[in-house]
Structure 1
Amino acid sequence: MTDILFDRSVKIAPSILAADFANFGREIEAVEAEGADWIHVDVMDGHFVPNLTFGPAMCKAIRPHIKTVMDVHLMISPVDPYIDAFAEAGADIITAHVEAGPHIHRTLQAIRGAGAKAGLALNPGTPVEVVDYLLDMVDLVCVMTVNPGFGGQKFIHSQVEKVRKLRAMIGDRPIHIEIDGGVDPITAPLVVAAGADALVAGSAVFKGGSVNNPAPYGDNIRAIRAAAAKVL
């Protein structure tokens, strides 16, 4: 696992859901070389969300290719039986949904107990107040700005105010605010101005490039970062 030092600089976390599935290792190496700060892995079970993606074995396979941070987002229910497997696969951050199970406090304890940073994800329809009694248990809160399940969806603007409220609730605690869904150079400044510091981007990073032509990945990452920097 990577030793993650906390800071509030803007992190760009490309989602490999938008990468070439036949070339994950090379895709990861390419986006990291082009400036990615974290690598975001969207795990979906076809039950909690209407899509089916990756499991612990795939995470273990790509771990040697990741030199930055492996940010694993579990869109699965139940979560608890799989925490150890994803931790053993090398996840640095494991994020679970507050909506995915009855005992989220226990889930967060289990994630930290497995040696990973604990993330908590909130769906668009979930009020920010649910994190009130969990803030001392988390290292990251992921605000979903689309409904989870598929890449390429449109950004839900009502979530910007949720980010602003969350930032006020967090205060000086060392907790990242991550945004997942519809992040691009237009929406990134909105959420960064509201207090976010980790931006998951899929199609906005991978569009126009390939493992044999990775330069567009860098252009796309720099465009998002530059847009976000304008509001800092």
Structure 2
Amino acid sequence: MVSIDGLADLWNRLLSAQPDPPALLVLLTGLAALAVVSTRLPWQIARNVVTIAHEGGHALAAVLTGRKLHGIRLHSDTSGLTVSAGRPTGPGMILTLLAGYVAPPLVGLAGAWLLGGNRITLLLWVAVALLLAMLVVIRNVYGVLSLLVTGGVVLAVSWYASPQVQAAFAYAGVWFLLLGGVRPVVELQRLRARGRMPASDADQLAGITPLPAFFWVTVFALVNLASLVFGALLLAGPLLTGAGLTG
């Protein structure tokens, strides 16, 4: 049985602010995330995290707009599918379709805000909680395994790793979500231009609104780029102050 003092210690650990990270750590984790996003094989592996956030965005928007969420499927080719029931048109369906591509960088922006306040442990635990909540609505084996592995890694880092490793992991993850939200939009438009994604989120939005699919791709791009800029500014606090550059 957990004592009151134990719960208090756990709560303090969760909400306490960690020291400012070295500026070099912020810079190197950003460069590492950029390298992953820019290279083929690392991107194909790490993109599963972006897919989890993408489908989670669809699911959350569906629930918040009153649609009935039937489940989420994650696939080994890094694609995914979120199924919900409700009106096929209207604001609820529009927001549900819109939420997918903008979710990863918006999650990254929220993470950058927490890191800006040095709430590294809180960020990691929130990530675990969100992954566990998403696990309830996963409807295929690969999806369950993806969430268990991802959540297990985050939990292990938050519980066993040193503060320095936690900081590096958290900053790398947030940088990756901010940067990794941009590439799928570029890929989406390239595939659309070749006629290979006729049922994309953008095309579905075009089908239920008077606006063309390219308009919605542009909205995705603008939201994601804005999230990247503001998130980068939040993360760059130690860089701007020069903390840790001189030892």
Mark yes or no: TM-score above 0.5: no
Counting strand residues as a fraction of each chain, which structure ranks higher? 1
> What range describes the TM-score normalised by the shorter chain of this pair?
under 0.3
User: What TM-score do you get using the length of structure 1 for normalisation?
Assistant: 0.26
Higher Rg of the two aligned structures: 2
* Higher RCO (CA < 8 A, seq sep 6+): 2
Counting helix residues as a fraction of each chain, which structure ranks higher? 2
